[in-house]
Chains A and B, each alone.
Chain A
Amino acid sequence: MAQTSTIARGGDTSPAPARHRSGRPRRRGALSPKAVPYVLLIPGLLVIAALLLYPLYQMADMSLHKVGLRQIRPNPQPAEFVGLGNFTQVFEADLFWTSLRNTVVFAAVTVALTLVAGTLVGLLLHRLGKKMSAFLIVGIMAAWATPPTASAIIWKWLFDSDAGVVNWMLDLLPDGVSSLLFGRSDWSGHPWLNDATTIYLVLVVAVTWASFPFIAVSVLAGLKSIPSELYEAARVDGSTPVKTFTRITFPLLKPVFSVLLVLSIIWDFKVFTQLYVLAGGTTNREAFNLSLWAYTEAFSAPPKMGIGAAIAVLLTAIMLVITAVYVRQIVRTEDVR
């Protein structure tokens, strides 16, 4: 951490505890020390409660009601309670299974690719010289900083059927190789963004491109915290790079990796903006993931907000179940500190 040097210089530790325990004179009207953290938390808690928790409750409540245009008009009519009816409807829809599959497969593939690519680049950054490392960080930052809407538009353009760079590159492959690999040799005019499968292919590329930099710099920071003696010892013992990674780097960086894993899962499970742009809005139903489906049900005419809410509840529940183990682990290591 950058501030450690200040600790050494500024921290005069010896006399403090004794005097501290005797307590400073409490001024009149000052808060009791016990109340301070709660007071500090109030504004943040209020925001979280009002803008996240209460809506979350409303979402759950809505998922049990039939909510349509009449219930959201300025003078609303009461919503009819339908129990688990919305959920039954969701499970019975064919779209549920395609959206679920799209959501899960996309997240699994993208999280894996992002973590692997990010870790490899992090390891590379660690081994580079100072200048080269700074140069590469600036480069990957550009990818990271590009707004999701802009980056989705860029990838849409790179994969354009006629003028896209990707089709041009694939056409450069010798015809034999191309036919052997993909079963076709002529790529000009190949549309990528009409079909759900290839939309997701582009989405995987776009999201991985945008998110591996965060993993890379995080891994780099983790690597910097590992004492170099460990690596020297490993080298003396003739350890291979792979062994060094699995025996030293990975175990020591495990907390870092679990945070990165949870965050990646959270981000990739509910990817919306990029899919919305790549799939061209809400018309291609085959390309829905759960987020986009929930949005479409709730906001395209006629609005079925109860159904939308039910889908959102399911998505949140799936994410909670998947990340529960890691969240526990993160919180446990947190308490030690």
Chain B
Amino acid sequence: MNPRTAKRLRGFGLNGLAVAVFLVAVFPVYWMVATAFKPNDEIFTTRFIPFPLAPTFDHVSRVLTKGVAGHSIWQYLANSAVVAVGTVLIGSLFALLAATAVARFRFRFRTSFLILLLIVQMVPGEALLIPLFLMVRRLGMYDQLIGLIVVNVGFTLPFAIWMLRTFVAAVPKELEEAAAIDGAGRFVTFWRVLFPLVAPGLVATSIFSFITAWNELVFALTLINDQGKYTMPVALQFFTSQRSTDWGGIMAASTLMTIPVVAFFLLVQRRMVTGLVAGAVKG
């Protein structure tokens, strides 16, 4: 075999492998969407039906018009959005400040702070649930979306700082020094010089926080009692009763919940990869 053919064959094999991995990764997501559009007789069968033979909007429209547990699905989506956006806004600001401190300055407790960031991530959220539940109630934030936002900020912040500090570190210090020499104050330097250059990193950490808050189940389950304030992950649980599951409905609702996240991901895919990876790989 001449080297050219060998190379082509190897390329063919690699691409084939890539397609196989792609299919494995995507199939479950595809299956969710496909099930959402299948009529019930195509859902509840032992036959394999690769795609909806008689596609129907029944499940989707039922979920959209009737909702679940007595409230519209839009209500749940809106609640999730409020919690996720609130978490991002507060969390990103705090993360940016702390990341700047860690990446830009050498100070006495820097290492201790970094260790702290890693260690607090080990604490299982379900464990802190009990004290947080009591605290949130004492503050009068029980059954309020703001309570969920506060808790989510706490749980996303350590990783957000961890991720963001590599972005701050990547901005050349000389730029800030130049600005300072030109007479810019610390705040102006921060706002005009550092902030724009760290923006891609902020996008990455924001998406991370958004998705974490959007997906969060346990706190939403325990800190919210009023059905009208449920978030999507909690609402999804109500498609399943003791006896049966409304598979068409739950798949339609899951698809609705997944669409914004996947769309978000794909839109900023490249930045996301650089961002998340920078956090894990440390530049």
CB within 8 Å of B: which residues of A?
1-4, 6-7, 10-13, 16, 19-20, 24, 27, 30-31, 34, 36-38, 40-41, 43-45, 47-48, 50-56, 58-59, 62, 67, 72, 74, 121, 124, 127-129, 132-133, 135-151, 153-155, 157-158, 162-163, 165, 167-168, 188, 209, 213-214, 217-218, 220-222, 225, 255-256, 259-260, 262-263, 266, 269-270, 272-273, 276-277, 280, 290-292, 294-295, 298-299, 305, 308-309, 311-313, 315-316, 319-320, 323, 327, 330-331, 333-335, 337
Q: For the complex, is B69 an interface residue (Cβ under 8 Å from A)? A: no
B28 x A273 contact (CB < 8 A): no
B265 x A141 contact (CB < 8 A): yes
Q: Complex Cα distance A43/B133, Å?
A: 22
Q: Using Cβ atoms and an 8 Å threshold, which residues of chain A touch B180?
A: 24
* Residue of A12, A19, A48, A213 with highest tally of chain B CB at under 10 A: A48
Identify A150's interface contact among B46, B133, B236, CB under 8 A: B236
Kindly report which residue of chain A lies nearest to residue B93, judged by CB atoms.
Answer: A43
B258 x A147 contact (CB < 8 A): yes
> 23 A-B residue contacts at CB 8 Å?
A6-B172, A41-B102, A48-B116, A51-B128, A51-B150, A59-B127, A133-B18, A142-B265, A147-B215, A147-B261, A149-B232, A150-B258, A153-B32, A163-B45, A167-B46, A209-B28, A214-B276, A221-B281, A262-B118, A273-B218, A319-B122, A335-B111, A337-B282
A52 and B28 in contact (CB under 8 A), knowing A150-B236, A330-B118?
Answer: no
Kindly report which residue of chain A lies nearest to residue B272, judged by CB atoms.
Answer: A141
Identify A270's interface contact among B118, B125, B169, CB under 8 A: B125
Identify B175's interface contact among A10, A47, A151, A222, CB under 8 A: A10
A255 and B282 in contact (CB under 8 A), knowing A27-B185, A188-B46, A276-B217?
Answer: yes
Q: For the complex, is B26 an interface residue (Cβ under 8 Å from A)? A: yes
Identify A217's interface contact among B21, B251, B277, CB under 8 A: B277
Identify B126's interface contact among A51, A188, A256, A294, CB under 8 A: A294
A36 x B122 contact (CB < 8 A): no
Identify B262's interface contact among A13, A145, A153, CB under 8 A: A145
Q: Using Cβ atoms and an 8 Å threshold, which residues of chain B touch A291?
A: 124, 126-127
Q: For the complex, is B228 an interface residue (Cβ under 8 Å from A)? A: no
* Residue of A13, A56, A150, A291 with highest tally of chain B CB at under 10 A: A150
A16 x B174 contact (CB < 8 A): yes
A55 x B132 contact (CB < 8 A): yes
B28 x A155 contact (CB < 8 A): yes
Q: Using Cβ atoms and an 8 Å threshold, which residues of chain A touch B166?
A: 1
Known: A27-B185, A47-B154, A55-B135. 6 other contacts (CB 8 A): A11-B172, A12-B174, A40-B97, A121-B21, A147-B215, A337-B169
Q: Complex Cα distance A214/B269, Å?
A: 12
Q: Using Cβ atoms and an 8 Å threshold, which residues of chain A touch B174?
A: 10-13, 16
- Tell me, rounded to whole Å, the shortest Cβ–Cβ distance linking B130 to chain A: 5
Identify B114's interface contact among A20, A147, A334, CB under 8 A: A334
- Tell me, rounded to whole Å, the shortest Cβ–Cβ distance linking A28 to chain B: 12
Q: B60-68, B71-79, B155-163: which lies at the A interface?
A: B155-163
Kindly report which residue of chain A lies nearest to residue B95, judged by CB atoms.
Answer: A44
> How many interface residues does chain B have, given as a range?
35 or more
- Tell me, rounded to whole Å, the shortest Cβ–Cβ distance linking B88 to chain A: 14
Q: Using Cβ atoms and an 8 Å threshold, which residues of chain A touch B186?
A: 30-31, 36
A1 and B283 in contact (CB under 8 A), knowing A136-B21, A163-B43, A308-B130?
Answer: yes
- Tell me, rounded to whole Å, the shortest Cβ–Cβ distance linking B206 to chain A: 15
* Residue of B26, B45, B47, B169 with highest tally of chain A CB at under 10 A: B26
B26 x A143 contact (CB < 8 A): yes
Q: For the complex, is B121 an interface residue (Cβ under 8 Å from A)? A: yes
Q: Which of B121-165 contact A (CB under 8 A)?
A: 121-135, 137, 150-151, 153-155, 157-158, 161
By DSSP majority rule, is chain A's interface helix, strand, loop, or mixed? helix
Pairs of residues from A and B, 9 with the lowest C-beta to C-beta distance, nearest first? A312-B127, A51-B154, A44-B98, A221-B277, A55-B131, A37-B105, A58-B131, A139-B22, A40-B101
Q: Which of B166-203 contact A (CB under 8 A)?
A: 166, 169-172, 174-175, 177-178, 180-181, 185-186, 197, 200
Q: Using Cβ atoms and an 8 Å threshold, which residues of chain A touch B161?
A: 44
Q: For the complex, is B227 an interface residue (Cβ under 8 Å from A)? A: no
Identify B278's interface contact among A1, A44, A50, CB under 8 A: A1
Q: For the complex, is B1 an interface residue (Cβ under 8 Å from A)? A: no
Kindly report which residue of chain A lies nearest to residue B48, judged by CB atoms.
Answer: A168
Q: Using Cβ atoms and an 8 Å threshold, which residues of chain B touch A40?
A: 97-98, 100-101, 105
B25 x A43 contact (CB < 8 A): no
B175 x A11 contact (CB < 8 A): yes
B257 x A150 contact (CB < 8 A): yes
A140 x B25 contact (CB < 8 A): yes
A52 x B128 contact (CB < 8 A): yes
A147 x B185 contact (CB < 8 A): no
- Tell me, rounded to whole Å, the shortest Cβ–Cβ distance linking A229 to chain B: 20
B28 x A158 contact (CB < 8 A): yes
Kindly report which residue of chain B lies nearest to residue A283, judged by CB atoms.
Answer: B242
Q: Using Cβ atoms and an 8 Å threshold, which residues of chain B touch A137?
A: 269, 273
Q: Complex Cα distance A313/B119, Å?
A: 13
Q: For the complex, is B86 an interface residue (Cβ under 8 Å from A)? A: no
